[in-house]
A = this chain, B = another copy of it.
Amino acid sequence: MKTVTQMGKDALKAKRAIAVLTAKDKDKLLTDCAKALRDNWGSIISANEADLENAKANGLKPSLIDRLMLSKDRIYAMADGLEQIADLPDPIGRFENMKTLPNGLIVGQKRVPMGVIGIIYEARPNVTSDAFGLCIKAGSAVILRGGKEAINSNKAVVSLFKAVIRAMGIDENIVQLVEDTSRESAAQMMKMNGYIDVLIPRGGSGLIQSVVLNSAVPVIETGVGNCHVFADESADVDMAVDIIVNAKAQRPGVCNAAETFLVHKNIADRLLPPAVSALRKKGVEIRGDERVRLVIPDAKPAEEEDWAAEYLDLILAVKVVDSIDEAIDHITKYSTGHSECIISESYENTQRFLNEIDSAAVYVNASTRFTDGNEFGFGAEIGISTQKLHARGPMGLKELTTTKYVIYGNGQVRK
């Protein structure tokens, strides 16, 4: 089994091989990999069955087993994903801000690959294919370190990709899978400054926090979303009901789902009964503060930890607030900086909310569920950044690249 350090060294060589590929070559590689997935779906299923058996033997939760499980349809969807990435415009090679300085130097920024991207993720084998496709299209070598639960599936997928890469005469180390799935291998990746240019963790908040706190390699923090919807006193009641039901219940297990509903005291009596009724029809459990329970007496009492929770489940914390100021203060205190929404007909309050809420995506009168690269029209998404450096919000191909300054002179020296 190759060591992580050796993988870093091999990636340093391979990044030069991938960086010089034309857009056409990269797209052919991705479409050939898509074909390889479809042609060999049966062998991937076999590998996946070994993972599923281990998972059951280890008592993995049914929801995790569902994430882990591949089917012919899911493998075809992975192939479709690679083809969609191939169809996107190449993010590499554009020149930006090119200008001639008074001394005749021509200076500008060229969009170039990151170099080597590390992805640390959990049990979903489709991430292996998606992350590979996005990193390759962005011109970088990629080191994939998936969870131990999916190791057989991941090995099967990556070995298909490597066969395609070799057949095109390209250095197969443009993609490498860390087969050692111990904590140590992840910890090693986090110290590989000089080899790995950026680490992107994808998965639950435990994984993400561990990488953010321990990595010496620059990290893009993704995805933890304690998202808020605030219904102001002037909110349209029907719109507020539609939005909170959609934001909470349309797909509760994802990071852009709402977790807390803040309701202005002057609309609580009118809004809470229809909202809670509609939410409960979708199976949502309500946890309310005291003032919510005056209106909805059978709501479970909310505890302090409910305000900070990312449930990723059919549970909603609900609080009555006195004013937009209290709503903004509450969100500022508990938000993870992902997505927040105000429902309001007040011009002033919508402007204040847009200005004062410090999150990656701030909504007026729309569901937080739209924070998504595909919904925003990027065509593909590697994750949703909740940090402020480099990328914030949904990240597409461009966010997987960097720039360098190129300077054309004819003998200029500095005075």
A binding-site residues for B, Cβ under 8 Å: 15-16, 19-20, 99, 101, 105, 107, 109-110, 112, 114-115, 191, 193, 197-198, 212-214, 216, 218-221, 236, 239, 242-243, 245-247, 250, 332, 354-356, 358-367, 369-371, 375-377, 387-390, 392-394, 402-414
In whole angstroms, what is the CA distance A163 to B143 when docked? 52
Partner of A364, one of B16, B360, B367, B409: B409
Q: What's the minimum C-beta distance from A16 to chain B, rounded to whole angstroms?
A: 7
Q: Is the CB of A388 within 8 A of B197?
A: yes
Interfacial chain B residues near A407, Cβ < 8 Å: 361-364, 366, 370
CB-CB nearest in chain B for A363? B407
Instruction: Beyond the given A101-B377, A362-B406, A366-B409, please list 18 additional residue pairs across the A-B interface where CB-CB is below 8 A.
Output: A19-B356, A105-B370, A107-B376, A110-B354, A197-B387, A198-B389, A218-B219, A243-B411, A243-B413, A361-B406, A361-B407, A362-B404, A362-B407, A364-B408, A364-B409, A366-B408, A366-B412, A390-B390
Interfacial chain B residues near A355, Cβ < 8 Å: 19-20
In whole angstroms, what is the CA distance A377 to B354 when docked? 32
Q: What's the minimum C-beta distance from A184 to chain B, rounded to whole angstroms?
A: 18
CB-CB nearest in chain B for A99? B377
Interfacial chain B residues near A197, Cβ < 8 Å: 387-389
Interfacial chain B residues near A101, Cβ < 8 Å: 375-377
A interface: dominant SS: mixed
CB-CB nearest in chain B for A214? B216
CB-CB nearest in chain B for A16? B356
Interfacial chain B residues near A376, Cβ < 8 Å: 101, 107, 405
CB-CB nearest in chain B for A412? B366
Interfacial chain B residues near A354, Cβ < 8 Å: 110, 406
In whole angstroms, what is the CA distance A354 to B108 when docked? 12
Interfacial chain B residues near A365, Cβ < 8 Å: 408-412
Q: What's the minimum C-beta distance from A173 to chain B, rounded to whole angstroms?
A: 16
Partner of A220, one of B375, B389, B392: B389
CB-CB nearest in chain B for A238? B411
Q: Is the CB of A414 within 8 A of B236?
A: no
Interfacial chain B residues near A405, Cβ < 8 Å: 360-362, 371, 376, 392-394
With most chain B CB atoms within 10 A of its CB, the pick from A239, A245, A364, A407 is: A407
Q: Is the CB of A389 within 8 A of B366?
A: no
In whole angstroms, what is the CA distance A361 to B409 when docked? 13
